[in-house]
Amino acid sequence: MRPGRSWGAPPPNIASGDGRGDRRIRLVLVSVDFPGLGTVINVIAVIIGALAGMAIGQRFPERTKGVVTDVLGLVTITMAGLSAAAVTDSAFRAATGSGAPVLIVLGSLLLGGIAGSLLRIEARLGSLATLVHDRFRRAEPRDRRATHRSLPHASTLDRSIAEVDDAEAAHSPTRLPARERFIEGWLSATLLFCVGPLTILGSINDGLGRGIDQLVLKSVLDGFAAMAFASTFGIGVLFSAVSVAVVQGLLTVLGVVLGEFLPEAHIAALTATGGVMLAGIGLRLLRVRDIPVADMLPALLVAPLLTTVVVALR
C-alpha cells in the first residue's frame, strides 16, 4: 500500500478500570487502498443517486422537473467556464507559448469533431442506448393528470390546472417517448460524468497514487446530479454508471502506466477542451441547441497530441 492513501489508523487503546484491573478495548480500522478506489466510490454514488431520483422523481410535477433540468444546465455551463479557463494555466502557456493554448483547444475540437462526425459517434451511441433500452425497458408510469382530467367529477379548476401543467411540460424532457428519454438521459449523464476535468484529473491522480480527493468530491457532485437527472430522464441515468466505470477505469490505468511522466501542459489541454464540450452539454440541457457533443469526444485524444506537436516545434 502506498503511504498517504490510508483512510485511517488504529486509535490508541481506550482503557477503563476501577483499580482492580484494566479492560482495554482496541478498535482496528482496516485501511483500504488500491488503484481505482475513487472510481468505485463514484460508481456507487451515481447508482444511489439515480435510484433515489427514480424513486422520488414521479412525485414532482412536470414544471418542477423542468426547473431541475434548467438548474443542471446552468451549473454545467458554470463548470464548463471554470474548466475552459485552463487555457490560462501557467504551465500550459509556458510549454506552448502565450497564444497557443486557445489555438490548441480550437484545433483539437475541430479535428476531433470532424473525426467523430465521420465516425458517427453520437449516432452509434444513440443506437447502443436504444439497444440497451429495448432489452431493459420498463413500463411507463401512468399519466395521472390525464386520468384525473377524464374523471366525471373533475372540477373546472382541476381541468385548468392539468391543462396548465400540460402546456408547461410541452417541451419538457419528461414528455419525450420512453426510448428517446432513455437515450437522452444515458447520453447526457454519461457525457456530464465522464468529460469533466475532475474525471480526467481525478482518475489520473488516482492511478498516479496522489490520492482520491478529487474523485470523492466528484462522487458527491455526481450523486446529486444523478438524482436530478433520474427524476427527469429515468432509468437511462442509472446505466451511465457503467460508462463512469469504463471511462474512469481506463483513465486510472493510464495514470498507472504513465506514472509521473504526464506533463501538466497536456493535462491542462485536456481540461480546457473538456470544458468547451461541457458548455455544449449545458446548452443541450437548456434546450438552446442540440449540439452533438459525443462527436467531439476524439478531441480529448487530439488535445495532448497537438500539444506535443506544438511543444516540439517551439
What is the rounded distance in angstroms from the CA atom of residue 135 to the CA atom of residue 242?
Answer: 16
Look at residue 158 and tell me if it is in a domain: no
| Statement: residue 183 has pLDDT above 90 | no
Look at residue 212 and tell me if it is in a domain: yes
Instruction: Dig out the grid coordinates for 37 from the structure.
Output: 478506489
- The H-assigned helical ranges of 137-239 are 144-150, 156-168, 178-195, 197-208, 213-233
Residue 177: is it exposed, middle or buried by C-beta count within 10 angstroms (0-12/13-18/19+)?
exposed
Look at residue 3 and tell me if it is in a domain: no
Look at residue 154 and tell me if it is in a domain: no
12-21 pLDDT, tens per residue?
444 444 545 4
Give the 3-state secondary structure percentages of the chain, helix then strand then coil, rounded to 5. Answer: 75, 5, 25
Instruction: Dig out the grid coordinates for 225 from the structure.
Output: 446530479
Look at residue 149 and tell me if it is in a domain: no
Per cent of the chain over pLDDT 90 is 26
Tell me the mean pLDDT in the region 167-178.
53
Report pLDDT for 25. 43
Beta-bridge partners for 25: 14
199-253 pLDDT, tens per residue?
877 888 788 777 888 798 889 889 888 988 888 888 889 989 999 999 999 999 9
Q: What are phi and psi of 13, to 5 degrees?
A: -60, 145
Look at residue 57 and tell me if it is in a domain: yes
Q: How many domains does the chain have?
A: 1
63-101 pLDDT, tens per residue?
877 887 788 788 878 888 988 999 999 999 999 998 999
Look at residue 96 and tell me if it is in a domain: yes
253-298 pLDDT, tens per residue?
988 887 667 788 998 898 899 889 889 888 988 889 988 888 998 9
What does DSSP assign to residue 69?
H
Range of the domain at 231: 31-140+173-313
Look at residue 201 and tell me if it is in a domain: yes
Report pLDDT for 263. 86
Report pLDDT for 71. 84
